[in-house]
Amino acid sequence: MSVNIAYPGCPTQGCNKNLLEGHDGWRCEKRDKTSDKSNQRYIFPMACADHSSQAWLQGFNDIGEVLFGTPANEAFEYISSLRINLLSRLSARV
């Protein structure tokens, strides 16, 4: 199972749109521009409930940085390094 809590967002201040990765970099459809880097931004589902009901909510970057205590770029780099380390350990066993 794979769970993504972040997406590659446009690095332009105030844009926040999801970027598409291409052969020449990251493309922002809204601005019609290509960048060499993306800005990871949190996006994650949350369930809030009490004794009477439950509601599903969507959390975004500002809330994610408060809840997780770290910027999405740092969390993404850390998770990527864990995946790379795990893959190298598994391939060494084969």
Structural domains of the chain ordered from first start: 6-92 (2.40.50.140)
- pLDDT (tens, 9 = 90+) of the chain, 94 residues, equals 456 889 999 999 999 999 999 999 999 999 999 999 999 999 999 999 999 999 999 999 999 999 999 999 999 888 888 877 787 888 887 6
Of the candidates 41, 36, 25, the one whose C-alpha atom is nearest the C-alpha of residue 75 is 41
- Distance in angstroms (rounded) separating the CA atoms of residues 4 and 10: 17
